[in-house]
Amino acid sequence: MVQSAILGFPRMGVNRDLKKATEAYWGGKLSQADLLAEAKRLRLAHWKIQKDAGVDIIPSNDFALYDQVLCHIQDFGAVPERYTKDGLDTIDQYFAMGRGHQKEGVDVPSLEMVKWFDSNYHYVKPTLQDNQTFKLVDSPKAVVEFKEAKEAGINTRPVLVGPVSFLHLGKADRGQSVNPIDLLDKLVPVYEQLLTQLKEAGAETVQIDEPVLVFDLPAKAKAAFKPTYEKFAALGDKIPKLVFTTYFGDVVHNLEALPKDIHAVHVDLVRNPEQLETVLGALGPKTILSAGVVDGRNIWKTNMKRAIETAETAIQKLGKDRVIVATSSSLLHTPHTLASEKKLDPEVADWFSFASEKAVEIAVIAKAVTEGPAAVREQLEANAKSMQARATSSRTNNPQVKDRQSKVTEQDHKRKSEFPTRIGAQEKKLKLPLFPTTTIGSFPQTKEIRVQRNKFTKGEITEAEYDKFIEKEILDNVKIQEELGLDVYVHGEPERNDMVQYFGERLDGYAFTTHAWVQSYGSRCVRPPIIVGDISRPAPMTVKESKYAVSVSNKPMKGMLTGPVTCLRWSFPRDDVHQSVQAQQLALALRDEVVDLEKAGVDVIQVDEPALREGLPLRSGKERDAYLDWAVKAFKLSTSGVEDATQIHSHFCYSEFQDFFHAIAALDADVLSIENSKSDAKLLRVFVDSAYPRHIGPGVYDIHSPRVPSEQEIKDRIEEMLQYLKPDQLWIDPDCGLKTRQWKETKEALVNMVNAAKYFRTKY
């Protein structure tokens, strides 16, 4: 029979219960015992959902109070000394690594947290020492949770991050030079021990995640798989059977690293269906294929027909006993349940499937291929009906949008003139001093703003009242910028809840949920809007506020928009049309907005693209080039409708552009503002090396902390920047928007920033 499997389930619970519990614990409002009890309750509830759905293989150890990689760091005794020396208890030490600890005389920052592959989830980086040792803790979490499930009558498949991935995803600690993969021989015995304990506890199989196999791996990491998995194979029955698991990409370029003598291999056939043939040919003679056919990264109902066809292809080659049907990856990246969405239009709701619904889907697929489609006829018919409805709905298809897309020309992606001409026209119009100062868009989102927005959402105040409040906020922001002596103003974005949702709510083609949260990191969750159909702009989105801001300012006002790629990346995208098509639709909508802003007298327009880099395909080469090509085009399409004298800015929250600098340069933005205060000014070297001709504002101070930088610090920073950038090229601005800050520190920091700029004006 063909079994069904889930690779991991979201942890937060139906009402973000885990977030509430951990935050209450951190705030001293919940005891540790109560936190652990809540975590246990959630695990049991999630196992039960999967069991009730009829899933055969249910994961354990996919749960984490903060992050699953962090759990491994602790269980393997890979905790840097700074977290052990103060004698924090296990749980507090764990959270200290995840989010820092500043209490009762203990003061340690967190470990580095970075994006989990190309998802919006962030994991804690294993941070290793030159003399690193590993030691398995007494009660490893994987064993404890396996037993916990067993006691509840559920036989689970524990999930582990595999040794090669654990090390490859790690880094040497500050001041250390170890190449993590060199620690493999020390780490493997810990896995052997852990696997042995799992077997003793009764685990028959273990899911061992080696997703780094989808990367372009350095030779050493690639070569590490074979000896490691041979060692495991040599342990025979002493350890559970291993399901070697990859996701988020294909393994075709790393086939020789795929262990031959292994129980099962899992591949992601949602992302890379074309790898099936090759993988089938590369499996060991007895190896089972776990076919990832239900999308773990998106919210769309599975196309059962297609999923069943994929499974059948594998069955034809391997037979029913050598195929498992599974989610493509962990369901961590999907919301808990569609059942919570009471406000969704039923037409659209019928197209979605969140984690709990996907659990049912995978069970149905397994049944269909085991017993034949007749066994699940009703479900398959209903599914086909939804697929059909979605494909033909007027909500997904807008002929006007398609028509407009068909008429886009190369010329539409180009500004009227090249930069030297444009900047001349802009200087004449804007009359800015040398080292012009500006901010990135948002000013502090005060409690008052949130209160008023809430009242408006609940209908407690009228639209007119709310608009009046927003105008007043904008006016205050303008006055403050006047007092501070900034050169290019912003309206401060008080009307925006979120930089993507705000635009999504004003565009046709988007749907919104009320409870569809997904974990971003630790207790932080995001609720991405969903792109359901062709996107268009029924009316201007930001013109009213910007126009008002212009009317009360005596200096240039910068209009603020979120770019097409960022809107796309921070939403759940459609899976029925290519992302490049969706980006182009967003770009056309934004293009109209940019032109309307220009008409309204907004002479500087910033189009933020902080998500451009995270969309980079995991491997370099063709796929990455294609992505950069359409991403850059989308940005240019959105910004090229304006006159030369209108100045286009863009913003990025990082400054590592080495891998794709040509794309950044190709955006042809008149001014780029980037993060730079937390990273090395040396990174600016790429701008020099490529003789980048346009203007750049590398952030001169960190906005993530309430700390006020001194004038001298900022001057020093600018001095450093001037080693790389020409004085007439350099703008002075903070690292990012100021929405999370308080006004007091914001004003103090900006005073120092403006004074530093003035000082350099006297020098040049």
Tokens at residue 377, please? 């006829």
Out of Zn ion, ligand GLN, none, what residue 441 binds, judged by CB under 5 to 8 A for its kind, is ligand GLN
Distance CA 1, CA 298 (A): 28
Residue 337 zone, left/alpha/beta (φ > 0; ψ -120 to 50; rest): beta
Of the listed pieces 244-252, 340-348, 619-627, 736-744, which binds ligand GLN according to CB under 6 A?
A: 736-744
Q: Are 761 and 435 in contact (CB under 8 A)?
A: yes
Q: Which does 730 bind (CB under 5 to 8 A by kind): Zn ion, ligand GLN, none?
A: none
Which member of 507, 739, 749, 753 binds ligand GLN (CB under 6 A)?
A: 739
Residue closer to Zn ion, measured from CB, 140 or 563: 563
630-to-82, 565, 590, 637, 747 alpha-carbon distances in Å:
45, 9, 16, 10, 39
Enumerate residues 723-752 that contact Zn ion by CB under 5 A.
736
With binding defined as CB under 6 A, does residue 653 bind ligand GLN?
A: yes
Q: Among residues 212 and 736, whose Cβ is nearest to Zn ion? A: 736
C-alpha to C-alpha distance for 618 and 10, rounded to whole angstroms: 23
Contacts of 747 (CB under 8 A, 6+ apart): 480, 484
Residue 568: which of ligand GLN, Zn ion, none does it interact with, CB under 5 to 8 A by kind? none
Q: Report the residue from 653, 669, 683, 700 that binds Zn ion according to the rule CB under 5 A.
A: 653
- Quick one: 307 or 736, whose CB is closer to Zn ion? 736
Binding segment (CB under 5 A) for Zn ion, from list 300-308, 555-563, 603-611, 723-731: 603-611
Instruction: Quote the least distance from Cβ 535 to ligand GLN, whole Å.
Output: 20
The least CB distance from residue 442 to ligand GLN, in Å, is 3
Touching ligand GLN, residues 467-526 (CB under 6 A): 499
For the CA atoms of 638, 642, 648, 653, the dihedral, rounded to the nearest 10 degrees, stands at -10
Q: Among Zn ion, ligand GLN, none, what binds residue 170 when CB lies within 5 to 8 Å by partner kind?
A: none
Which residue lies nearer to ligand GLN by CB, 440 or 594?
Answer: 440
Cα dihedral 86/88/93/96 (nearest 10): -70
**651 sits near ligand GLN (criterion: CB under 6 A):** yes
Can residue 737 be called a binding residue for ligand GLN (CB under 6 A)?
yes
Backbone angles phi, psi at 212, to 5 degrees: -65, -10
Residues 610-649 that bind Zn ion (CB under 5 A): 610
Which of the 8 DSSP states describes residue 257?
G
Of 413, 491, 578, 704, the catalytic one is: 704
Residue 714 interacting entry, from ligand GLN, Zn ion, none, C-beta within 5 to 8 Å by type? none
Instruction: Answer yes or no: 704 catalytic.
Output: yes
Contact window for Zn ion (CB under 5 A) among 120-128, 239-247, 652-660, 756-764: 652-660
180 interacts with ligand GLN by CB under 6 A: no
Please say whether the dihedral angle defined by the alpha carbons of residues 39, 44, 49 and 53, taken in this order, is positive or negative.
positive
Q: Which residue reads 């709701």 in tokens?
A: 349
Minimum distance between the CB of residue 671 and ligand GLN, rounded to whole angstroms? Answer: 14
Q: Nearest to residue 65, comparing CAs of 87, 86, 45, 40? A: 40
Q: Under the criterion CB under 6 A, does residue 736 sit at the interface with ligand GLN?
A: yes
Q: Which residue type sits at 163? A: P
Tell whether residue 542 is a contact of ligand GLN (CB under 6 A): no
With respect to ligand GLN, which residue has the nearer C-beta, 10 or 444?
A: 444
449 belongs to the binding site for Zn ion (CB under 5 A):
no
438 binds ligand GLN (CB under 6 A): no
* Binding flag, residue 672, ligand GLN (CB under 6 A): no
Interacting partner of 157 out of Zn ion, ligand GLN, none (Cβ under 5 to 8 A depending on kind): none
Give the span between the Cα atoms of 169 and 670, in whole angstroms. Answer: 37
* Window contacting ligand GLN (CB under 6 A); options: 62-70, 104-112, 148-156, 435-443: 435-443
The residue type at 131: N
Which one among 98, 170, 441, 699 touches ligand GLN, defined by CB under 6 A?
Answer: 441
Q: Does residue 750 bind ligand GLN (CB under 6 A)?
A: no
Give the separation between CA 170 and CA 187, rounded to whole angstroms.
13
Comparing CA positions, the residue from 298, 331, 348, 283 lying closest to residue 62 is: 331
Residues 65-104 vs Zn ion: string with x where CB under 5 A? ----------------------------------------
442 makes contact, choosing from ligand GLN, Zn ion, none, with CB < 5 to 8 Å by partner type, with: ligand GLN
Contact yes or no for 76/134 (Cβ under 8 A): yes
- Alpha carbons 97 and 92: distance in angstroms, whole number: 9
Q: Choose one: 320-328, 604-612, 689-697, 702-710; the region binding Zn ion (CB under 5 A).
A: 604-612
Percent helix, percent strand, percent coil in the chain, to nearest 5: 50, 15, 35
391's CB contacts (< 8 A; 6+ apart) are 576
Does 500 bind Zn ion (CB under 5 A)? Our answer is: no
Minimum Å gap between C-beta 560 and Zn ion is 12
Quick check: 608 binds ligand GLN (CB under 6 A)? yes
Q: Write down the least CB distance from residue 499 to ligand GLN, Å.
A: 5
Query: Whole-number minimum distance, CB 746 to ligand GLN, in Å?
Result: 12
CA-wise closest residue to 77 among 230, 209, 196, 194: 194
Partners of 102 in the beta sheet? 107
User: Residue 428 is which amino acid?
Assistant: K
- Phi and psi at residue 158, to the nearest 5°: -65, 150
The answer to whether residues 80 and 129 touch, using CB atoms and an 8 Å cutoff, is: yes
Q: Which amino acid is at 662?
A: H
DSSP-derived secondary structure for 282-342: HS-TTPEEEEEEE-SS--BPP-HHHHHHHHHHHHHHH-GGGEEEEESS-GGGS-S-GGG-S
Distance in Å, CB of 73 to ligand GLN, minimum = 28
Residues classed as catalytic: 704
Binding site for ligand GLN (CB under 6 A): 440-442, 499, 560, 608, 610, 651, 653, 736-737, 739
Interface residue list for Zn ion (CB under 5 A) = 610, 653, 736
